[in-house]
Amino acid sequence: MEHFGEVRFVGVKKHNKNLWVAKIQFDEFGSLIAEGDDAIDAIKKLRNRLNKIVDRYSMV
């Protein structure tokens, strides 16, 4: 299995009255965020986005 770098969970914060944002950091240069109606929704969406990226790279 190849290693593509480190993924670090940065956190979840309330962006405005109705929106939460979850963020992860890739190897100090890139990041991925997801927005949700609450903190749990934002984390679930972030996990789904990350899984899609991992699946895409696993296919190559």
Tell me what pLDDT residue 22 has: 93
Tell me what pLDDT residue 16 has: 86
Q: Which value, to the nearest 10 degrees, does the dihedral of the CA atoms of residues 36, 40, 45, 51 take?
A: 160
Every domain of the chain and the residues it spans: 7-59
Tell me what pLDDT residue 14 has: 92
* Closest C-alpha among 47, 57, 51 to residue 3: 57
- Per-residue pLDDT tens, the chain, 60 aa: give them: 455 577 888 999 998 888 999 999 987 678 899 999 999 999 999 999 989 988 888 876
Tell me what pLDDT residue 56 has: 86
Tell me what pLDDT residue 60 has: 62
Give Cα 18 distance to the centre of its chain.
19
Residue 6 gets which letter from DSSP? -
